[in-house]
Amino acid sequence: MTRPPRKPRKPVASGAISDRVLEPAAEAELELTWKDPPGFWGWLVTTDHKRIARRYLVTAFLFFGLAGLGAVAMRLQLSKPENTLLSAARYNEIFTMHGTTMMFLFAVPIMEAVAVFLVPLMIGARALAFPRLNAFSYFVYLAGALTLWIGFILNIGPDVGWFAYTPLSGPEYSPGHRSDIWAQMITFTEIAALAVAVNLTTTIFKMRSPGMTLSRVPLFVWAMLITSIMTILALPAVMLASSLLMSDRLLATQFYNPAEGGDHILYQHLFWFFGHPEVYIIFLPGLAFVSSITATFSRRPVMGHIPMVLSQIAIGFLAFGLWVHHMFATGLPHLGDSFYTAASMAIALPSGVQIFCWIATLWAGKPVWKTPLLWVVGFIVTFVIGGLTGVMVASVPLDLQLHDTYFVVAHFHYVLIGGAVFPLFGAFQYWFPKFTGRLLSETAGKWQFWLFFIGFQLTFFPMHILGLLGMPRRVYTYPSGLGWEPYNQIATLGGVMLFTSVLIFVINVLVSLRRGALAGDNPWDGPTLEWATTSPPPPYNFMLTPVVDSREPLWEHREELPVMEGLSTAKREVLTSSPSEAEPISRQASPEPSIWPFLSAIATTIVLLGTIFSEWALVWGALPLGVVLTGWFWPKRPRAGGEAQ
Amino acid sequence: MRRPASAAAALLLCGCTGVQTPLDPAGEQAASIHTIWTLMLWVCGFFYVLVIAGLVWAIWRNRRVAGGAPQASTHDPGMERGLAIWSAMIFVGLTVLATWSFFVDRSLASTHEQNALHLRVTGYQWWWKVEYQEGPHPWWFETANEIHLPVGKTARIELESGDVIHSFWVPNLSGKMDLIPGRHNVLDVTPTRVGVYRGQCAEFCGFQHAHMALTVIVEPQARFDAWRLHQLQPASTPATPDAQFGQQVFQSRACGMCHTIAGTDAGGRMAPNLTHIASRPTIAAGTMPMSKGALAGWISDPQGIKPGSKMPDVPLTTTESSAVVAYLSSLQ
Amino acid sequence: MSSRFRPAVRALLGLVAAAALVGACDRELRDFGSSAPEAGPTIQTTSLTPGPGGQVPPDPRGEIYEKSAAHVSEGGRLFRWYNCNGCHSNGGGGMGPALIDDEWRYGSSIEQIYGTIAEGRPNGMPSFRGKATDEQIWELAAYVRSLGGFTPQASSSRNDEIRSTPPRNQVTPPKPSAEGGASVQGTAP
Amino acid sequence: MAEVERRRTWWWIAAAVVLAALIILFLLKQTHYSPPAAKMTTPAAYNPGQPTADDGQWVMPAKDYASTRFSGLNEINVSNVANLRPEFTFETGINKGHEEAPIVVGGTMFIVTPYPNKVFALDLTKPGAPLKWSFEPKPAPASQGVACCDVVNRGAVYWDGKIIITTLDGVVIALDANSGAQAWRTQLGDINRGETITMAPLVVKGKVLVGDSGGETGVRGWLTALDAGSGKIAWRAYNTGPDKDVLIGPDFHPFYKMDQGTDLGVKTWPPDAWKTGGGTVWGWISYDPELNLIYYGTGNPGPWNADQRPGDNKWTSGIFARDPDTGQAKWFYQLSPHDIHDYDGINEIVLLDLPIGGKVRKVLVRPERNGYVYVIDRATGQVLSADPFAYVNSSKGVDLKTGELQVNPDKVTQVGKTVRDICPSANGAKDWNPSAWSPRTGLLYLPHVNMCMDWQSAEVSYIAGTPYVGAEVVMYGGAGGNRGAFTAWDPVKRRAAWEIKEDLPIWSGALATAGDVVFYGTLDGWFKAVDARNGQLLWQFKTGSGIIGQPVAYKGPDGREYIAIMSGVGGWAGAIVSGNLDPQDPTAALGFVNATQDLKKRTNTGGTLYVFALPPRR
């Protein structure tokens, strides 16, 4: 794309807005105030949401790669019948690791990472509401991820599926600590995800720039808000499920023992009450990326802002009403199941509305075919198939045939890769300059896109047919003669293409980090506030707080952006505002870098890992945890605060 | 983009026969589910074509305009109307599908066959126990990894689990149903076509989930009755000295601890009942077709063939092993 | 960004890996064939009299089996499959003596328990040699040890059954004095 | 028919009058010293048809063929029982459950101990009852491993100069009563298939009747008749399998339709399951010489897990009437068809003539494990009444039209389901421990339990010689806080006259005497005498160990009345002590341990005979 013809606009961050500008001395002071300590210590103590988000991004992407390697291994194993490349035990471990990693260590964290990076920028805030909590989240997430993968490397990897159904994951059928590691990994990652969700929700409600009323909140932020609220509501269910499982395994409680009044269906209810919203927790951020990319590259705002927002809210609501469609085959009363059929199908409506709006935006706009927009088109083509097969499996009778077959594998990969990973790669391409200051290579990006797109269809489309030919999921091998061989071979081939595509992306990133074109503040002429500051942004994000009077502030004010002063430069201060009208309320002190989040994460890790082996870890582990939390919450000397002007 | 479309077309043509596919129904239940599939495929296919058409149109229309200064958000009544129509279409489509699905579901749930054949299928890691109930007195007999059903008669299958969750799925006959410890599920199956079908466990159940299949043989009533009468008999006494030695070995070694052969002292209930094993089409839950060679292989190296299965490597001499094979293959 | 966190990640990885390697995971060992060296020393059973009996040479297989959670768990399954629970209940005993107390008539070492299962004992304990494979007898012996509280680390807390014994992974290992068996009451098996 | 009955009635009234007259005569003459019956003669119990006085002997555990356990002696009575004191004791040296009844013939008392089934003959004519002879049958030690519920023995029997015993390893032995020399020895059971013998034999018309134990090890139950003189097998009737094995012939006329048909012992089982189907005979046999029928109950079907044996499981958990000469079955009534709670049908059968519906009928009274007292016409097998004597929720009554037990569907046990709060528990509202009947009060004295259970069925393999149970059971005390009860039951009015609540389950037999005193013992060792009319506790004595034996009364060579009881805890109820089981496991001893967790703290093992008498008059 040709650089949009525009006059150089002085972004707020560079402090050159004519009459309202910080003195160089003040600017230096601001820089000093928000700067992290240097070196490794600075890495440990930082509370800068951008640094933490980048860390999150890299870590999550690393696990994406590991889980992808697992997928390739599985595809190779399945490339021919009765293959012996992987043993049954190893295959079961790998598909467990693949699912678990993709869901808990990649999809959720990476979406949160993008949100953690961009949300404060998009709402014109200096920081997140709880910066230290954010640091804590990352460390806890990292500890959980390492627990799982080090376990796998040491041959104690869980082998009970990412859903870890009891009784297979229970004390009788999973001896050793494999299931414990899975269950505790859940606790780790869910603590982290909940903390991020609380953080984002608070930030979005309380820290928007003056003038950014709810009706001016960008679609991206809306999606992240709904995602965060869903996270807060859904994740406790799975933590409950896994904690009860732990307690059954460690303390011989009887939650999942029908002989003593427990129930295996209870586990499934708890798990899917989380598990289904989880899909939308992953997918709504994807929609957020799509909306941002579509708007920028269509050169116009997304058509139907209000229907879009309402659709997202509707998805958020409906997502909690259809978990039972994962359990149609468990023999629950059929009449009740029909309700979940209706709810599951109903969710196609808001999804359909959004698809319409994006296509309409493309239709009405002047689309520029940069790589991010290709990903959007790829998203629509792919995701709609997943959505439609979703309607199919929502039907109770049809699901009884399709459930737990490769048809479902195909379906949810179309939904999750189509609905989240395609937009995510688009988002990488789109925001990479903001993350790093440099552009990714367009050529490599297009190669990556086409390889990925074709590889994806080759891998997963045949799985629909495999499912219809009766191939069940989670089988480490299959007999010949059932007509499954050709489709499996095509899928394996596609899998290799996918892997190559991701390799290209990795190389693209590594090369572009050093040699990529310098991006400037707003390389794509994007409309939202994150483009109003430097790339990458300074630790304090904005020198002066932007004042917003439109949904597309940078398109509205092409010359200069209205700003507001009054936040201290000598100490870390953020502006809080009212939840709906975003009227400034107060100047709030924002915490300094601190080692306590890291120490707290260590203490949490000790407790959680200890409880795999002994319930006494809860007691003794509470001591260090108490110490670090005391340190964390030790009252600071009251500082001068006060009302903003 | 073209790939899925052509593949979808291929899908319509392919897979219309097979022993383990819902696309080739041989039972009433599978047939009525198949109607939903057909309807779904057409309705969803229609919507997909519509979406793709819209997308192509949008891209085609703007093929020459690209970039430029951003437009402001505009109020476009045409677009709103389009959205309303689109939403209405989705709504109608969903209503049709949901209603159809609901009625099929009701029809599946409301099979109240008075005269049904009663069976109980119990899932174990990793095989199926099948028990039949017949007649005024509950004469039960037991077999494993095979189900014989008379054509045209509803079979009421009670589903239970002996360890973890399994799922009973014979796609040509009906949808799947889970076997959950502590719960009791029932599945009605009405086969309408004579044939041999294959079913497989459809819920992950541990190491050998992949090797947990069963064979369903739908046959005319007369043949079924003959089979049933035969199943009620105890095992035939071995005729050859080799087989007699095999029986001795079977009873005195670990075999009889887990397997039953009716009429002998082998009374284990934890593994498949082998009373009429030689008449079954497969061994080791569909892992291998029945043959002397397969039996010999299975007996000598179960952990190599089906790692993790509960069948131990029993150290037998070659003579003992071949005697056991001779004995087992005499159990017609 | 990456250069800044790389040392940290490396340090963390190293730390966790080192910590995990310290307790190398015998417990998680699960081989489907015989996981023990085939040619161990021959098991010598104790004399068929009550009491600790003569010295039984330790067998390297014993430790492998009783430290593996998978083997102990398989032993528990066989304990039910082979009707051991018919006499010994879930360890509390019945027709046979209790296995969760600290009284071991024929010795409590895994080799001695192996001998008891393989050869039987005169007061009613049948011999399982030949009926069960060698590996299964080791697994049974390992499970019986876990009932006695000798291997809480490798034990599961409970089965999906009616509540019976205290959680086996929570049992305090018996005092060393109980090893080798002591008092004998009555004449029953 | 009516005429016959009238004639019979008259006959009985005459007998009763004569008996009463003799008793009165006896009472009047009590001061006279009668010389000891040192010579062993055919005792009165073997002539139940004859109106004779109680000869003061105790020749079979049930006292007489009618199984009344009633002693006509009345020296010890309500007014003086408080003075009862131990006269002598005898230590058996065996620390297992002593369920046996001592046998007294002439001046000798015979005791057969639990495994190793030693026999002791005590000379009652000498002070302190010294040992006259003893006999060690040396049963196979391995038999201990297949005895379900402790290695008990329920007593010996005297016949024609011989003491006949059974041993745990399935042997019947006849000993010369005077010398202890072995007369013959016949192996009946095979312990390698789980067959043991714990019951006391009964001799009827020169035939020793013995059944096998092992309902928990998958045996096939039988009753065998041996020639008392030679020990040769006369006939054997199986309780499962084809009619020819069960000795069902043309004479077989069960009253209810459910028990009619051919080869039901095969057809009511899954193929071949009858071969390991239980239906053992380890309880009591009664005999009616007039009808020439023996009556005995059959044990539970095996395994306990009822899912493995769908069907009615004939002929388990029922009552057979057979011709003692040929063994041919006359009638059968199944008390618990397709038993799902281990309700063995082996309890005592008391043969009585009771006024029912205005006329005296020849009935048998059976306090059954399932919690009902059955009154059954002993000629035809018709159930006249069945009333619960304890709290029962496992069934809702007995349909007198069809004879069927109305099983409570909520309490049906099946695999994959834990059924809670089943009352009574697997040992029944009352187990083997026999009741006593007093013709003086018209009450049946039932020593029983008040227990409930949780039950989980489990798949179980048949492995010869190992337990074949397939159930995890946890028992506990029933409502009311008492685990045991001693009930005086009026079979005519069909209600309890009175009841004593005992903290621990009662596992001892009962004894009624003409002195209107009833005796029983408790698991913690108290031996109690209560007033037969109102249950008032008159006397009690703490013995060395828990009591699960059967009290007997006899007249010593010195003419005094003695009461004897074995003390030695064990059996199913006391296995926690005798087997040193661990109460941490509530399923131990098939779940009984949970109900008697405290027993180890309240008693200890032992094996002692206690004999009581009043202080000799000066």
Q: Which of A268, A272, A359, A369 to mutate to test the interface with B (most CBs of B within 10 A)?
A: A359
The whole-number pLDDT of residue C10 equals: 56
**Residue A22's pLDDT band (cuts 50, 70, 90):** confident
Are the beta carbons of C98 and D580 separated by less than 8 Å? yes
Give tens-digit pLDDT for A381-392: 999 999 999 999
Domains and CATH numbers, chain B: 20-59+78-220 (2.60.40.420), 241-329 (2.60.40.420)
Between residues D426 and B138, the one the model is more confident about? D426
Confidence (pLDDT) at B56:
95
Residue C188 has pLDDT above 50, yes or no: no
Q: Which residues of B touch C (CB under 8 A)?
A: 181, 252-254, 257-258, 268, 270, 303, 307-310, 312-315
Chain A hits for C12, CB-CB cut-off 8 Å, are 142, 146
Q: Out of B137, B162, B232, name the one closest to residue D311 (CB).
A: B137
Query: Taking residues A626-630, what's their average pLDDT?
Result: 94
Radius of gyration of chain B, Cα coordinates, nearest whole angstrom: 27
State how beta strands B213-219 and D372-377 pair. unpaired
What is the gyration radius of the CA atoms in chain C, in angstroms?
19
Tokens found for residue D396: 């809702």
Buried b (16+ CB within 10 A) or exposed e, A319-329: bbbbbbbbbbb
In a domain, C173, yes or no: yes
Residue B12 has pLDDT above 70, yes or no: no
Report the pLDDT averaged over residues A228-238. Answer: 95
Q: Residue B248 pLDDT > 90, yes or no?
A: yes
What CA–CA distance (Å, rounded) separates C72 from B235? Answer: 36
How many domains, chain C?
1
For B58, which residue in chain A has the nearest alpha carbon?
Answer: A363
**DSSP H helices in chain C:** 2-22, 60-67, 69-81, 84-88, 110-119, 134-147
Residue D558 burial by CB count (10 A; 0-12/13-18/19+): exposed, middle or buried? middle
Percent of chain D at pLDDT exceeding 70: 94
Measured at the CA of C57, the angle between CA C55 and CA C63, to 5 degrees, comes to: 125
**Closest alpha carbon to D114 in D508, D499, D548:** D548
- Residue contact B257–C135, C-beta within 8 A: no
Domain span at residue A389?
263-269+277-436+440-516
- The number of distinct structural domains making up chain A is 1
Q: What is the pLDDT of residues B65-98, one digit of tens each?
A: 877 888 877 778 888 899 999 999 999 999 999 9
What's C128's domain CATH number? 1.10.760.10
Question: Which residues 62-101 on chain D approach chain C with CB closer than 8 angstroms?
Answer: 95-96
- Higher local confidence (pLDDT), A343 or A430: A430
Q: Which of D414, D418, D472 to mutate to test the interface with A (most CBs of A within 10 A)?
A: D418
Residue-level pLDDT at B16: 57
C10 touches chain A (CB under 8 A): no
Å between D433 CA and nearest CA of chain C: 20
Amino acid at D14: A
Q: What is the DSSP code (8-state) at residue A102?
A: I
What value does the mean pLDDT of chain A take?
91
Does an H or E element contain D561, and which?
A: strand D561-567
Instruction: Kindly give, in sequence order, each residue whose CB lies less than 8 Å from that of residue A2, ignoring residues fewer than 6 positions away.
Output: B67
pLDDT at D10: 78
Mean pLDDT for the stretch of residues B178-196: 93
Choose among C163, C54, C44: nearest CA to C107.
C54
Would you call the peptide bond into A210 cis, given omega within 30 degrees of 0 as the criterion? no
Q: Is residue A495 predicted with pLDDT exceeding 90?
A: yes
Residues D203, D178 contacting (CB under 8 angstroms):
no
Residue D499 bears catalytic tag: no
Exposed e or buried b per residue across A556-569, where buried means at least 16 C-beta atoms within 10 angstroms of its C-beta: ebeeebbbbeebbb
CA distance D336 to D260: 15
| Residues B107-129, mean pLDDT to the nearest whole number | 85
Who among C92, C95, C97 is closest to D147 (CB)?
C95
Kindly state the average pLDDT of the residues A604-616: 91
Q: Which of C49, C77, C78, C83 should one mutate to test binding to chain D, selecting the residue with the greatest count of D CBs within 10 A?
A: C83
Read off the pLDDT of each residue in A55-77 and give the average, rounded to a whole number.
95
**Is B64 a residue whose pLDDT tops 90?**
no
pLDDT above 90: residue A53: yes
Give the pLDDT confidence score for residue C4 in this predicted structure.
47
CB–CB contact C100 D579 (8 Å) = no
CA A231-A123-A280 angle, to 5 degrees, is 25
Beta bridge partners of B123: B128, B161
Residues of chain C contacting D216 with CB distance shorter than 8 Å: 86, 95
pLDDT band of residue B111 (cuts 50, 70, 90) is: low
- Residue D581 contacts C, CB cutoff 8 Å: yes
Is B146 within 8 Å of B215 (Cβ atoms)? yes
Q: What is the pLDDT of residue D16?
A: 79
- Work out the minimum CA distance from B244 to partner chain A, whole angstroms: 34
Residue C46 lies in a domain: yes
**Mean pLDDT, rounded, for B253-261:** 92
- Distances, alpha carbon C49 to alpha carbons C189, D140, D564, in Å: 11, 16, 37
Among chain A residues, the shortest Cα distance to D457 is held by A259
Q: pLDDT of A543-596, one tens digit each?
A: 889 999 889 999 988 878 888 888 888 899 999 999 999 999 999 899 999 999
- What tokens does A275 get? 């598990």
- C167 at the D interface (CB within 8 A)? no
In the structure, what pLDDT confidence band is assigned to residue C29 with cuts at 50, 70 and 90? low
What tens digit of pLDDT does each residue of C125-162 get?
999 998 999 999 999 999 999 998 888 888 888 988 88
pLDDT given for residue A25 in this prediction: 85
pLDDT of residue D25: 63
Lowest mean pLDDT among A399-408, B289-298, C30-39: C30-39
* pLDDT of C46 higher than 50: no
Gap between the Cα atoms of A149 and A66, Å rounded: 9
Q: Do residues D306 and D338 lie in contact, with contact meaning Cβ atoms separated by under 8 Å?
A: yes
Residue C164 lies in domain: 27-32+40-178
Question: How much is the pLDDT for A302?
Answer: 92
- Contact between D269 and D315 (Cβ < 8 Å): no
Q: Specify if A392 maps to a domain.
A: yes
What pTM does this model have? Answer: 0.90
* Distance set, CA D120 to CA B271, D129, D156 (Å): 49, 11, 11
Judge whether residue D50 has pLDDT over 70: no
Candidate from A632-641, B302-311, D321-330, D580-589 with smallest mean pLDDT: A632-641
pLDDT of the residue at A8: 35
The chain C residues in contact with chain B (CB within 8 A) are: 32-34, 77, 81-82, 130-136, 160
% chain B with pLDDT above 90? 73
pLDDT at D96 over 50: yes
| Residue A638 pLDDT | 57
* In a domain? residue A164: no
Q: What is the pLDDT of residues D217-226, one digit of tens each?
A: 999 999 999 9
Q: What is the pLDDT of residues A149-183, one digit of tens each?
A: 999 999 899 999 999 999 999 999 999 899 999 99
Q: What is the mean pLDDT of residues A20-45?
A: 86
So what's the ipTM on this one? Answer: 0.91
Angle (deg, nearest 10), helices A371-394 and A264-298: 150
Task: Give the pLDDT score at A182.
Answer: 95
Nearest chain A residue to B62, by CA? A366
Compute the distance between CA of residue D297 and CA of residue D288 in angstroms, rounded to an integer. Answer: 15
Q: Does A391 touch chain B (CB under 8 A)?
A: yes
pLDDT of residue A350: 94
Q: What is the pLDDT of residues A267-284, one digit of tens each?
A: 999 999 999 999 999 999
CATH code for the domain of A355: 1.20.210.10
Give the pLDDT confidence score for residue C1 in this predicted structure. 41
Q: Of D77, D95, D117, D300, which one is the catalytic site residue?
A: D300
Residues of chain C contacting residue D578, judged by C-beta atoms under 8 Å apart? 186, 188
Which pLDDT score, from 0 to 100, does residue A643 have?
A: 39
Place of tokens 């000295």: B241
Do D308 and B269 make contact, defined as CB atoms within 8 angstroms? yes
Q: Is D342 a catalytic residue?
A: yes
Residue C100 lies in a domain: yes
Q: For residue B22, what is the DSSP state?
A: T
Confidence at C189, pLDDT banded by 50, 70, 90 = very low
Q: Which residues in chain B have Cβ-Cβ distances shorter than 8 Å to D311?
A: 137-140
Please report the residues numbered 214 through 273 in chain D whose beta carbons come closer than 8 angstroms to any beta carbon of chain C.
Answer: 216-217
Q: What are the b/e assignments for A499-529, b being 16+ CB within 10 Å?
A: bebbebbeebbeebbeebeebebbbbbbbbb
Inside any domain, residue C10: no
Comparing A16-20, A202-206, D220-224, the range with the smallest average pLDDT is: A16-20
CB pairs under 8 A between A and C: 95
